[in-house]
Structure 1
Amino acid sequence: MDILGIAVLIFLVTDPFGNIAIFLAALKGVAPERRLRVALRELLFALGLLLLFLTFGEWLLKGLGLSRESIAIAGGIILFIIALRLIFPSPQGLLGEVPDGEPLLVPLATPAVAGPSALALLMTLRNTHDGPLWELYAAVLLAWAGTALILSQATRLHKWLGARGLNAVERLTGMLLIMLSVDMLLDNLQSILHITP
């Protein structure tokens, strides 16, 4: 997978359109003149977490003695579960109830943007990517920039797309993730079973 493909995958997993409602709910108790500043601060925290797991996640997986194929298959399963949650959301939303007050790290930086699924995906990519490491860092920065652009404009996008439009985009994202997850699973099962496509 090239840089752009990896960036799109990370972007889909961070689910910026699905997180618009979470950002709006978490920032409603913040003074309007501080909302953009707080959102950008939380997005920078999220970037720090993503880069931290990309840098040190490989050591964690190697310490656990996991094979490349098992990591990739687990990543495919995680993507599949995320996709199902995007297509069939729970009534409480992905994060449930959002606490009052100015958010700090939780729930916006994590688990909204840099959630368990995104962090697990980065550890999987670090352990399975064949290209140079800088490609993964570039892909994370590209995906984060796209996510930050969308979430910093959450209020405008919510007004423009409306609740139904955001739901439609989120479900489309879920469908794309299902296709990517199935492709990951099939590729690695073929590798394990020594099947040539």
Structure 2
Amino acid sequence: MIDFLAVFIVFFAVIDPIGTVPVFIAATRGYDAKAKRRIALISGLAATLILLFFVVAGELILKAMAIPLPAFQIAGGIVLFLFALSMIFGESKPEEEVRLVNKYHETAIFPLAVPSIAGPGAMLAAVLMTENARVSLWQQVQISGVMIVVVILAIFLMLMASKIHNLIGNAGAIVISKVMGLILAAVATTNTLAGFKSYFSL
């Protein structure tokens, strides 16, 4: 048996369902309520499949390609940082929002499924916490179950985000987007620096 509470806390921290809400609001400003619901469900499903893929094959792929885990963490941090910059300096004109209305599938995958839910930290945690050398198959199934519960919680919070949006409006969503971008930039920098530290400690 695994320590369910400890595993839940780890995945809650790296997936950050609460932190996904402002990203969802900012990324879906130009969509109607129905499209937002579909985006939330698609992003949650996609994130689940991605994280399960890393549970099953992540370690094998990295080893087969001779990629150390810290290098993966550095790359993930850089990608997250680039997304954070797009949130801070990205286009927010109404015309851009209209152009995105029929592209909710793309929005669901990026930036919501990746990197907001299944970000580099979550992918790394999925690989490290199910390391084949020290975790049995049954324990890997249990860990995966806890991980899916956290993703479901993120989906639920995204589905509730429309009510939050109604309260704060588009102007509030823009402000949240900029602030969240700064926070994500800091998180990405921390991940990258931690990756460099781990890499040079090998």
Q: TM-score, normalised by structure 1?
A: 0.67
Displacement of 1:180 after TM fit? 2.1
1:16 partnered with 2:24: no
How far residue 67 of structure 1 moved from its aligned partner, in angstroms, is: 1.0
Residues 80, 182 of structure 1: 8 Å contact kept: yes
Deviates more, 1:90-99 or 1:43-52: 90-99
Q: After superposition, give the CA deviation of every residue in 1:91-144 in whole Å (9 maximum; x if it has no partner).
A: 47999933549x6xx2354235213675462433334559865557635532x2
Match of 1:111 in 2: 110
1:165: how far off?
1.7
Give the distance between the partners of 1:45 and 1:130, measured in 2 at CA.
20
- Matched residue of 2:16: which SS? helix
Cα distance in structure 1, aligned partners of 2:40 and 2:116 = 21
Instruction: Decide which of 186, 193, 198 is 1:191's aligned counterpart.
Output: 198
CA distance, structure 1, for counterparts of residue 92 and residue 109 of structure 2: 20
Structure 1 letter corresponding to 2:149: L
Structure 1 gaps of 5+ residues are none
Report if aligned partners of 1:23, 1:154 keep a CA contact under 8 Å in 2: no
Deviation at 1:78, TM superposition (A): 1.8
How many pairs does the alignment contain? 186
Moved more, 49-58 or 123-132: 123-132
Q: Distance in 1 between matches of 2:97 and 2:143?
A: 31
The one of 97, 100, 105 equivalent to 2:99 is 97
Instruction: Compute the displacement of 1:71 (Å).
Output: 1.0
Identity %: 19
The SS at the match of 1:90 is: coil
TM-score with structure 2 setting the length: 0.65
Mapping of residues 148-159 of structure 1, within 5 Å: 148-159=155-166
Conserved? CA contact 1:10–1:118, under 8 Å: yes
Contact kept? 2:30, 2:98, Cα under 8 Å: no
2:146 paired residue number: 138
Distance 2:162 2:18 in 1: 21
